[in-house]
Structure 1
Amino acid sequence: MCLCKCDQVATLSTPLISLPRHPNPSSPTTVNNDLRSSSHTAVIAQIEQCTNIAQLKQVHAQMLRTGIFFDPYYIDYARQVFDQIPHPNLYTWNTLIRAYASSADPVESIFVFLDMLYGCSECPNKYTYPFVIKAASELRALLTGRAVHGMAIKSSLGLDIYILNSLVHFYGTCGDLDLARRVFVKTPKKDVVSWNSVITVFAQGNCPEEALELFKEMEAENVEPNDVTMVGVLSACGQKVDLEFGRWVCLYIARNGITENLTLNNAVLDMYVKCGSVEEAKILFDRMPEKDIVSWTTMLDGYAQSGNYDKAWRIFDAMPSQDIAAWNVLISSYEQSGKPKEALAVFNELQKSKSPIPDGVTLVNTLAACSQLGAIDLDKALEVFNSVESRDVFVWSAMISGFAMHGQGRDALDIFSKMLEAKVNPNAVTFTNLLCACSHAGLVDEGRMFFYQMEPAYGVVPGVKHYACMVDILGRSGNLEEAVELIEKMKIPPTASVWGALLGACGRNGSFELAEKACSHMLELDPRNHGLYVLLSNIYAKTGKWEEVSGLRKLVQDLGIKKERGCSSIEANGSVHEFLVGDNFHPMCKEIYSKLDEIAGRLKLVGYVPNKSHLLHFLEEEDMKDHALILHSEKLAIAFGLISLSPSQPIQVVKNLCVCGDCHTVAKLISKLYGRVILLRDRYRFHHFKDGHCSCNDYW
């Protein structure tokens, strides 16, 4: 900390009535109007009663220790004090820069720094730059921070350890771990803060191996670690899920007499939870002399992620206060464990409580639960989306994804337009979801427009997922030549997903030569992918190349590749029932096959003929082909739904593979013949069947 001299601080002899140079519209305009609480009044009174610099420094130190110096109220007050000083000196400028750097509005720190460059006769010193770099770090402003780094070098302060330590943290926070390490290596006399900074940025940057290697180097250099060091090391252990080393770290802390505190105990607690040792976490939790909301939430997360919801709810109910993070833990754990109804029930409880306010994480997890549940017409998802005014890019992207999965492409595009109106910048995930929406709804021109606008208009460089989506859009619409041209012009090597999108398009359009080309590329990248053999086999069969079909079948057998079996699940009366292809193990097996016979008879009367082109073509006998089609898992699940669910209940089926064309046709006909709503979620999207129609308009 820099120390001031008595003659460096101006005395306050005039009333504070002027406005800040950068006024905050929400802040009061005068000190008298600012005195809204007794605590504020008391502190201001202490300041105004100071008769010398020693007393003022004492109050200042107390405010720093308690953290209230960075309260927006006091920062506004400090700014008004600052504005009364005719010629602020360097210490005064540094104090204000530091205050804003640690505030909720760090960009003001940068503005004050720029004002100082023009308004102060003294040059920035080694105490100025760390505060400005901290502000740039809070803002993730890489270019600004690099500019400040350059200024420090030009000021002959480029090797100051305080500045270098700040830069390590800054570059790490901005995601440039290479630069963070290079700055660390160039630090001439590394202290414990230097090591802590680099270990922490690598641990927080999802590079746990490097973080632990740096810790070993630190030990080799005989630099004594402290509690901050161990927090970073424990974080790395948790990411690696290395419980054994995590236990060693706990012993190391005890052996080396490293002082335990709340932050360190929370780090140990988090390590135990991430490594799956919830009982060890509970032992520590029970003996912790001090607990905060992080401690309680970590323990809650441990039980929830392990599926022990009884204990999770007991922790939740015992929490001194339940902030939004605690609610998010429950919603997220239910959603990730395949319990979307329970996740939505927690969200409903949160809404009823009216406190705390849902945030972006709440909405993303709740929207994901809605997607799992497949709520008809997305009503619940829209209710969740509309329940919060402040929506970040992830919330908007999740809503676009929801519409995309349900084949509501136009609605997805409408949400994107509203997102831009709300001045939320789209990211790579947004465009992946947007292009998927265009693909599922056949919006070729719109997809092409979005793809080619990504980088020039929004600064988002297309990645592999975007190219795969675009190839799919072009391929589905029959624009195979344009799809091939796009692949050839890719700035990054095409992956199996890109060639797979092209191969799928060839299957729909019967392009034999192009299919072989795509398949050869896929074989190089993913030779054991059974799906590509299925697609290629169907293409051979469509073009009458039966020798190639037989050869492909023999190759699959020789390689020992097993096809992923189709599996469909359906919930009825509180229980989930699963069906495999040709399943005959279900307790209601006889009733289900009897229902299938009934369905087959009614379908035949309306002119339905099984579409045998949707088989693998590895079956030769015609009667076996007919039999195989009727045994598809989704047909079994739908038949069970007709038996077990009341006519007013929708039949909701989830399948692990893409629904075949024949099953798609059958589901449409059943929805009309039996007057039922069928919701089928396959590997890629939802299909809503009603009155003989599907929401995808037969485009999937």
Structure 2
Amino acid sequence: MPVLRSIPMLKITSPSSSSLCSLESLLKYSLSHFLYHSFPLPTPQQNADPKPHQTLYSSFNLRALRTQQSAPSYYASLLQSCIARKAINPGKQLHAHLCHVGLGFDLFIATKLVNLYCVCDSLGEAHLLFDRIPKGNLFLWNVLIRGYAWNGPYEAAISLYYQMLDYGLEPDNFTFPFVLKACSALSAIEDGRKIHEHASRTGWETDVFVGAGLIDMYAKCGCVGSARQVFDKIEVRDAVLWNSMLAAYAQNGHPHESLGLCSEMALAGLRPTEATLVTVISASADSAALPQGMELHGFSWRHRFESNDKVKTALVDMYAKCGYVKVARNLFERLKEKRVVSWNAMITGYAMHGHATQALALFEEMKEKAQPDHITFVGVLAACSHGGLLDEGQVYFQLMMRDYHIDPTVQHYTCMVDLLGHCGRLEEAYNLIMQMRVLPDSGVWGALLNSCKIHGNVELGEVALEKLIELEPDDSGNYVILSNIYAQAGKWDGVARLRKLMMDRGIKKSIACSWIDIKNQVHAFLSGDNSHPDSEAIYAELKRLGGRMKEAGYVPATGSVFHDVEDDEKTNMVCSHSERLAIAFGLLSTPPRTRLLITKNLRVCEDCHVAIKFISKITEREITIRDVNRYHHFKDGVCSCGDYW
């Protein structure tokens, strides 16, 4: 004997009492007598979501319901109304009625029900119904694959795709983008390549929707070359496809390629979209390409995006990352609506430049107007770390958890370890790592290792390097930092041991590189580089500067030199570091008092930091160095970091 379940009735208001009685009686009978075991459904919540119910049932044609109770098309229109409104509760009650009148497993109706459950994120009910109906309808498969691709678990979307193939159905240009989205979320490159092969065999590879899905999948998996191959095969490209390829470059550390492709897009005659501009402006920010960023600023204004707050927020981020914090703040203040991402961009910009006071003041203002999120607190804690504000950092760390109920992420812990370590509280930093609620990553241990270098703590430095070798065994920078700690302590046997370990593992020291943009042309320099056409003049300028710096009191600091060599050789090595070559070229190539912006792929060494302060005073230049960690603004012999970085 099947178990029956009674479902609570909705209170339906209508001007016609006779119609109300007829409809209410029909629904009451239908909804209270469907078989639970024939298709179990969750009990709808009482008194939930009243407006969608009223809207839905006020649209019933009562006469049609009495005379066409078995007409699938009529019920399909009602279900479509539920789908459009994401009205899950009336949809469930209508499903119950359909089961009673014998239409619960009708393929046309059931496909609509599966779609309803998917858009309402009730994938359990969707899959249960899917399993009990015929599966010859490709749209049915697409609906469920899409549901899992949007909401997870993503593995289920990929599994359904393979089941669909086994069932004998061929995917279309809706199937491929959905399943590729699931591959993107999982970075499932092997499945992605198999799906790509299938799309190629079935002729869908050059479809713009499928192509965009393939490009996004390859981008998320870090295969930019494969993404570009897909892009190049598609002859007719829309803005979405161009944007996908622009984002692929920007998200994988190829900002210059992203900017170049944007130029190609303009030449192809396509009008940029909001997504286009946000992507390429962000790319110029990541590469500190200020001239390109300024061109994009003008370009966006000419194309009437001057009132678009998302584009303006991207410009705020770009100007902040390119060292023009005042311009960024001016744009920020002119935003019509300051969203959380806008506040975060400005706070993080201040933090990058070491303007801790301004960052914290802006955060206090933000608290009155927007709800801070976890990214906000990364910026706030980074500002405290870069400014050496230990007490404030500890207060904000506790505030984040206590008042905003934000669980610390690995980025928050990295900021706190860096802050404690820089302040000489190395044991506290180590204890915090041991108490972390998330698994420490290379950023956390790297922050501790760098702090050990600052304070010459060999023992904790060895512990940090051991952990870093487990996490990223081929990163030469970690070995070099501990080598420098050994060198500073005069432990040359430790230096030799690390050098041998690197040689045995085939690890080569990362080559330092600095670059400067002069008249829209990027000039790159390596340490000790002689390849530049103006190399002779550059070294002559360095020699001239060296003499003036020595007269002003500069003494080279050679403690960080990797090798145990004579002092004169150490001095020559640090004096030809890549950032100094870039500065010398900038001095030769620009008018007096022009500001110089140098970007470096590694951290600025201690000696160069001291030397650039002297150079800024001697030449009366403002020199900005953007290294791998932060910005340094040198002016009149002083750095904005306060020698704290």
Deviations 1:231-266 (A, max 9, x none): 5246568887868854743764789xxxxxxxx965
**C-alpha contact 1:199 1:232 (8 A) present in aligned 2:** yes
Question: Which residue does the alignment assign to 1:504?
Answer: 450
Question: Which residue does the alignment assign to 1:47?
Answer: none
Alignment partner for residue 51 of structure 2, among 105, 112, 133? 112
Question: Which residue does the alignment assign to 2:532?
Answer: 586
Question: Which residue does the alignment assign to 1:270?
Answer: 212
Q: CA deviation at 1:170?
A: 3.6
Alignment partner for residue 260 of structure 2, among 307, 324, 330? 307
1:641 aligns with 2:586: yes
Question: Which residue does the alignment assign to 1:77?
Answer: none
TM-score normalised per structure 2: 0.75
1:401 aligns with 2:354: no
Matched residue of 2:559: which SS?
helix
- Measure the CA separation in 1 of the matches of 2:469 and 2:381: 26
Q: CA deviation at 1:387?
A: 3.2
Amino acid of the structure 1 residue aligned with 2:357: R
Question: Which residue does the alignment assign to 1:652?
Answer: 597
Higher mean C-alpha deviation, range 211-220 or range 498-507: 211-220
Alignment partner for residue 359 of structure 1, among 309, 319, 330? 309
1:473 aligns with 2:412: no
Amino acid of the structure 2 residue aligned with 1:438: C
- Measure the CA separation in 1 of the matches of 2:24 and 2:315: 50
Alignment partner for residue 614 of structure 2, among 669, 683, 697? 669
Matched residue of 2:487: which SS?
helix
- Measure the CA separation in 1 of the matches of 2:392 and 2:84: 42
1:686 aligns with 2:636: no
CA distance change for structure 1 residues 280 and 647 in 2, over 3 Å: closer, same or farther? same
**C-alpha contact 1:400 1:434 (8 A) present in aligned 2:** yes
CA distance change for structure 1 residues 338 and 694 in 2, over 3 Å: closer, same or farther? closer
- Percent identity between the two aligned chains: 32
Alignment partner for residue 141 of structure 2, among 195, 199, 213? 195
Flag structure 1 segments of 5+ consecutive residues without an equivalent: 1-7, 13-84, 94-108, 120-124, 138-144, 172-178, 256-263, 286-294
Question: Which residue does the alignment assign to 2:434?
Answer: 488
Q: CA deviation at 1:633?
A: 0.8
Higher mean C-alpha deviation, range 451-460 or range 669-678: 451-460
CA distance change for structure 1 residues 451 and 671 in 2, over 3 Å: closer, same or farther? same
**C-alpha contact 2:95 2:113 (8 A) present in aligned 1:** no
**C-alpha contact 1:237 1:245 (8 A) present in aligned 2:** no
Matched residue of 1:491: which SS?
coil
CA distance change for structure 1 residues 589 and 180 in 2, over 3 Å: closer, same or farther? same
Question: Which residue does the alignment assign to 1:350?
Answer: 300
Matched residue of 1:307: which SS?
helix
Q: CA deviation at 1:540?
A: 2.3
CA distance change for structure 1 residues 90 and 254 in 2, over 3 Å: closer, same or farther? farther
Deviations 1:516-563 (A, max 9, x none): 222222222223322222222222233333322322232223222211
CA distance change for structure 1 residues 299 and 697 in 2, over 3 Å: closer, same or farther? closer
Question: Which residue does the alignment assign to 1:16?
Answer: none
- Measure the CA separation in 2 of the matches of 1:475 and 1:417: 26
- Measure the CA separation in 2 of the matches of 1:254 and 1:659: 50
CA distance change for structure 1 residues 300 and 483 in 2, over 3 Å: closer, same or farther? closer
Q: CA deviation at 1:670?
A: 0.9
CA distance change for structure 1 residues 445 and 167 in 2, over 3 Å: closer, same or farther? farther
**C-alpha contact 1:476 1:508 (8 A) present in aligned 2:** yes
Matched residue of 1:653: which SS?
strand
Alignment partner for residue 326 of structure 2, among 368, 379, 383? 379
Alignment partner for residue 627 of structure 1, among 572, 578, 584? 572
**C-alpha contact 2:320 2:346 (8 A) present in aligned 1:** no
Question: Which residue does the alignment assign to 1:452?
Answer: 398
CA distance change for structure 1 residues 638 and 330 in 2, over 3 Å: closer, same or farther? closer
Q: CA deviation at 1:434?
A: 2.0
Q: CA deviation at 1:427?
A: 2.4
Amino acid of the structure 2 residue aligned with 1:419: M
Question: Which residue does the alignment assign to 2:6?
Answer: none
**C-alpha contact 2:513 2:600 (8 A) present in aligned 1:** yes
Aligned residues: 561
- Measure the CA separation in 2 of the matches of 1:660 and 1:434: 26
Amino acid of the structure 2 residue aligned with 1:373: C
Q: CA deviation at 1:273?
A: 6.0
- Measure the CA separation in 2 of the matches of 1:155 and 1:457: 47
- Measure the CA separation in 1 of the matches of 2:80 and 2:470: 51
Flag structure 2 segments of 5+ consecutive residues without an equivalent: 1-11, 28-47, 59-74, 217-226, 247-256
What RMSD in Å do the two structures reach over aligned CA positions? 4.3
1:551 aligns with 2:551: no
Matches within 5 A, 1:127-138: none
- Measure the CA separation in 2 of the matches of 1:666 and 1:638: 11
Question: Which residue does the alignment assign to 1:516?
Answer: 462
**C-alpha contact 2:123 2:148 (8 A) present in aligned 1:** no
**C-alpha contact 2:456 2:485 (8 A) present in aligned 1:** yes
TM-score normalised per structure 1: 0.69
Question: Which residue does the alignment assign to 1:281?
Answer: 234
**C-alpha contact 1:110 1:132 (8 A) present in aligned 2:** no
Amino acid of the structure 2 residue aligned with 1:357: S
Q: CA deviation at 1:297?
A: 4.6
Amino acid of the structure 2 residue aligned with 1:344: M
CA distance change for structure 1 residues 474 and 234 in 2, over 3 Å: closer, same or farther? closer
Question: Which residue does the alignment assign to 1:535?
Answer: 481
**C-alpha contact 2:176 2:210 (8 A) present in aligned 1:** no
Alignment partner for residue 407 of structure 2, among 461, 464, 474? 461
CA distance change for structure 1 residues 353 and 309 in 2, over 3 Å: closer, same or farther? closer
Matched residue of 2:234: which SS?
helix
**C-alpha contact 2:83 2:116 (8 A) present in aligned 1:** yes
Q: CA deviation at 1:150?
A: 11
Amino acid of the structure 2 residue aligned with 1:346: L
**C-alpha contact 1:208 1:240 (8 A) present in aligned 2:** no
- Measure the CA separation in 2 of the matches of 1:113 and 1:215: 34
Matched residue of 2:538: which SS?
helix
Higher mean C-alpha deviation, range 403-412 or range 162-171: 162-171
**C-alpha contact 1:246 1:271 (8 A) present in aligned 2:** no
Q: CA deviation at 1:641?
A: 1.5
**C-alpha contact 1:566 1:657 (8 A) present in aligned 2:** yes
CA distance change for structure 1 residues 249 and 115 in 2, over 3 Å: closer, same or farther? same
Amino acid of the structure 1 residue aligned with 2:504: D
1:420 aligns with 2:367: yes
